[in-house]
Structures are given as structure tokens and as C-alpha cells.
Structure 1
């Protein structure tokens, strides 16, 4: 439990931060250069102040709606494949991926609680939507590994829009897709601006290939087998030739496929936290769905922002460049 003094300091800081409209009540706050749901600012501060990373830790990082759920399922299955008698007994069949790989800022450090990690075995799997620059120093300074998944911003917008309007929230207000796109253009979106978020992890992945593995959702979809083998290698759980010949990689791909996860009973019912239904994390998972929702003028405006912000970084998205 956080001390009352620290809780008070966090609340005072929250009141002083610049605000922006957000679909999640009570809106967004600008903290350390990025916008995040105001209600979790104290959680982020607690995470930054208290978390002590271990060299064996694996942190899955992403912007919301970038393939986070799929990445969690894949990473969990890879790390735990030898702990199950067979993959048909994998915990993914009974638990939502967000329960198995908990969010630091939404789950572990929520409600002024300090998590007890003593019962967790190594390697520990965690996830976060926080930008690289705002991660606790222990994550940056230790040899723990970060896997970042990135997605075409246009598809993120559409996926996020659907998610927001499906969410089970008492105070949810309906946003149009145009309103969502406009917010992204201004950088006033959860854990945005998206360009800073992506570029932060992209830069470190180029400077230190042992620290950050930068994955693209589109490449993971198009070449899942090789991308998953790369993921397994990076997090320290490479597939042996014997495992490959036994079809273990393909078993994991089948287990973690969008179609399979979506049809599991645990992902059809129940909620992740009080307000997000498990089924809301499994809509389409397609590449290029933005063409069905965004107007030509909005696409033009978004592409201009993407080009201006990512120009010269080496980070591009073929689907809309």
C-alpha cells in the first residue's frame, strides 16, 4: 500500500497537469510529455518509483490497439511451452492474455497497491503502454528485454474507435471515427502522441538490438512463422531443431491465432478490469481495415502528419505511404 503522503502528492500533481478530452472518463492528462488516462497517472508514478526490474524480465510494450493481446498470447506460450504437458493444457485456454501478462499501469500498480512479486517465477512477463522515456530506470539499466509491437496508425485509429465505443463504461460517450482521427492528428490520444511513442522504442531498438525488439504488426501477420521464431530467440526461448521438426512452432501459432483466441469461452465472456469486456479485444485483427472507415480527406491529413513526424527515422508503413 502506498503511503498517504505519496498518494496526496500524486493527486496534487494530477490536478496541475494539462488536460485533454478523452473517451475514457475523466479524460486525459499530459504527464512527462505524453497523454494518458487521468485516472491511472498515480499508478504510473507508483510504477516508476517502486518497480525493480530483473535481468530476466520481459516487458511487452505497445500503443493501445497495436496487437498487444496477440503479442501477449504468443510470448506467454513461448515462455511456458515446456511447463505444460502439452499446449492443449496451456493457461491461455482458461485465462485472457491480459490476466496472464498483466499491465503495470492498469493492473499491478492500481488502487494504490504495491504488488507482491515474491510468488512470480522467472522470467517474469509484464506489459505496458508507457513510452520508453518514462519507463522506470531499472528497466532501462538492467538487461531485461523489451518487445515493442507497432502498427499502422490508420488501423490503430479504427481499432481504437471500435474498442472505445464497445467498451462497457457507465460514462462512455459515443465518438465518431472523425473525432478519433482528429485527436490522433493532434497527439491527444492515450499514451500519445503516437509518433513519439513509436519513435522512442524504434530509436532504442536501433541503438541496442539486445534491449528492444521492434516488431511490426503487419509483418507479424504476413510472416508469422519467422517473426515468432525471431521473437522466441530474442526473449531467450529459441525453438530447437527438434521442436521445429515436431511442429511445436505451428502448434503455438494455431493456439494463438486470432480465430482460435476469439472463439475461446474465456474470451467470449467476462471482463478485463471492471469496464472492458474480454470479447472487445477480439474484433477483426485485419490489416488495412481503415479503408472502410476513414474518408479520403482524413487519410490525406493523417498521412501528412505521419510523413512529417516519421520522416528520416527509417520507420515507414507501406500500406499508406
Structure 2
């Protein structure tokens, strides 16, 4: 399947202007779940320990039931607004660099990263679809994206030897990025939304459980799960891109390193470069959100411009308590 066809298929959304239809079976499931008022939808429901929208739960159930993993599958997992678009661009470019050399015809120049690396819950299994993935990306490994917590991944994915990459971000920056992304649709003030986040009532939250699920698996099975942080990736992108390539089974050769291939991929996939591409200034690769909304600042520490010291202290205390003894740490305060 050619890359143009692949991108077109994953961009297609036949119900763009309609509400997602929730099946009777899913409605029955929702009626049995705890619920809270959501940021963007009327309610979030607690499913398998995590807070999700109804359409997300319906997609997750279908994914868990129907997805069949291949040994060379690659799954890129994140909490929302934790560097997902960037990770997709980097991973896609690394694993497909023989098929798509770095040139003025590279797929990233004409397709948003979310079209090249589709979400399980928002694209492939959305809108009551059961996709046929047997021929997906036949020229290389299948690369998928998800916000689904590790315990809720399909059993075939957890039991196979597929590679999972998890990227997480300082929760204060993640919150602010999320607020700018969907805050205009929210009935809550920033302060109210922050309190909900601190209680764990946020999409795919509690975020600390989301992080810990992938963190613990990375410690138990490091050959199958690579745990990265946004801050480290920003600080030394070249170093961590080499780690990523090696983990995925596509290490850079000495010749590639000498000829500057690593640095060229870093530049192609950089936040600023992706933001300036015409393809990322228009269209909707994720339903209801314009592509230009995916690129705001991409900075580390931008939260200081929006949150009070008291709010930051509250989050820092929560993180210390929730992550205590795990070995996972975030430096939230100066």
C-alpha cells in the first residue's frame, strides 16, 4: 500500500459532522460505571480504573476484543499532550527511512504524523469500525499510537514481543497544554480544571497511574518497553533518538551517523519545522481538532506563566506521594 493511500485511509472520517453513535451494548456498560463531569464532554466514565469519554470506551472495548498483534508491531503510547505528535514523527521517520529517504518528497511534508501513525481509539477502532489491519504498512513494521493505559492494552499486544514506547511529560506542562487544547470547550475555569486534574479526573487519568503502568512494565520487560520523558528528549534529542532507533530494531549505522542522518531526522521532526509545514496548518487529522492546534509552544516549564506557586506545590506534593517508592521522579519546582 502506497503512503498516499495509507494516509488517505487514516484521514477519512465519515462522521466528521455527526456525534459518534454509542451502541446499546456500550450504553449498558456506561450505566454501570462511575462518572464525573468532563472537561469537554458531559461526563467522563471510570473504565478499568481510568477516566475516559464514552466514545473512547467504545473504541477501547473493540480494540481489546479484535486487535491481533504482530511480533514486529510498534505501539507509541502517551498521555494526551505529552509530545505525542513529535514521537510519532520521529518513530515513523526512523523505521521507514529506507522506504522514504530524507528528501523533499518525504511523507511528513504532505501528511500529518497522526495520519501516518493512527490512533487505535480515535481512528482505527473509532465510530464502530473493525479495521482489517492484515495488510497495513506491508513494507515495514506496523506503527500505531494510543493514549490507552498499559493494563488496558489488548492482551495480544501485551503478550507478544511487539515494541512499546512510552513518552511522558511533566504533569504541570501537560495540564497547561491540555488546557489550551480544549479549555475553550470546557465549562470550567483553569483553577477548577486543575483541581479535577489533581484528583485524577482527566482524560485517561489518573495520570500518575497511567505513568506508573508503563514505568513498571519498562522495568520488568525493558526489551519490550522503552520509557522516555519529554524533558530528556528535548534536552538531548540526538542521543535519545539513537536510543529509540536501537530499541525499535532500526539502529543507525556508523555511515549514517557520519553523514548526519540523525541530525537531519531531528531537524525534519523538530517542533518548529512541523509547525511551519503547510499540511499542519490546515485540516483535521484528529476529529474535532484542527491540525494547527497540535502545535502551540512545545516548551519545557511554560506552566510557570499560568499556574501559581501554590498550585505547583500542590501538584508536586501529589506526585511525590503517588510515585513514592517507584523510582520514577519529576522535578516540578525550581
TM-score (ref. length: structure 2): 0.90
Q: Does 2:281 align with 1:268? A: yes
Of 88, 95, 108, 1:92 maps to 108
Contact 1:61 1:148 in 2 (8 A): yes
Matched pairs, number? 311
Of 154, 179, 183, 1:161 maps to 179
Contact 1:26 1:39 in 2 (8 A): no
Of 284, 296, 305, 2:318 maps to 305
Contact 1:87 1:251 in 2 (8 A): no
Alpha-carbon distance between aligned partners in 1 of 2:132 and 2:103, rounded to the nearest angstrom: 28
Question: 195-204 vs 14-23, which deviates more?
Answer: 14-23
**Unaligned stretches of 5+ in structure 1?**
1-5, 167-171
Alpha-carbon distance between aligned partners in 1 of 2:118 and 2:101, rounded to the nearest angstrom: 24
Question: 264-273 vs 191-200, which deviates more?
Answer: 264-273
Using the TM superposition, give the Cα deviation of residue 15 of structure 1 relative to its aligned residue in structure 2, in angstroms.
Answer: 2.3
**Unaligned stretches of 5+ in structure 2?**
1-21
Of 61, 64, 80, 2:80 maps to 64
- Match of residue 127 from structure 1: 145
Q: Which runs of 4+ in 1 moved over 4 A?
A: none
Alpha-carbon distance between aligned partners in 1 of 2:293 and 2:224, rounded to the nearest angstrom: 31
Q: Does 2:27 align with 1:11? A: yes
Using the TM superposition, give the Cα deviation of residue 9 of structure 1 relative to its aligned residue in structure 2, in angstroms.
Answer: 2.2
Using the TM superposition, give the Cα deviation of residue 25 of structure 1 relative to its aligned residue in structure 2, in angstroms.
Answer: 1.7
Contact 1:155 1:288 in 2 (8 A): yes
Alpha-carbon distance between aligned partners in 1 of 2:333 and 2:313, rounded to the nearest angstrom: 10
CA RMSD of aligned residues (A): 1.4
Q: Does 2:164 align with 1:151? A: no
Alpha-carbon distance between aligned partners in 2 of 1:175 and 1:90, rounded to the nearest angstrom: 41
Using the TM superposition, give the Cα deviation of residue 252 of structure 1 relative to its aligned residue in structure 2, in angstroms.
Answer: 0.4
Using the TM superposition, give the Cα deviation of residue 89 of structure 1 relative to its aligned residue in structure 2, in angstroms.
Answer: 1.7
- Match of residue 11 from structure 2: none
Q: Does 2:189 align with 1:176? A: yes
Contact 2:73 2:163 in 1 (8 A): yes
Contact 2:218 2:224 in 1 (8 A): yes
Alpha-carbon distance between aligned partners in 1 of 2:101 and 2:269, rounded to the nearest angstrom: 17
Contact 1:11 1:42 in 2 (8 A): no
- Match of residue 293 from structure 1: 306
Alpha-carbon distance between aligned partners in 2 of 1:89 and 1:22, rounded to the nearest angstrom: 42
Alpha-carbon distance between aligned partners in 2 of 1:228 and 1:192, rounded to the nearest angstrom: 28
SS in 2 for 1:59: strand
Alpha-carbon distance between aligned partners in 2 of 1:85 and 1:187, rounded to the nearest angstrom: 42
Contact 2:172 2:332 in 1 (8 A): no
- Match of residue 109 from structure 1: 125
Taking the TM superposition and a 5 Å limit, the aligned residue runs for 1:221-300 are 221-300=234-313
Contact 1:26 1:38 in 2 (8 A): no
- Match of residue 43 from structure 1: 59
SS in 2 for 1:272: coil
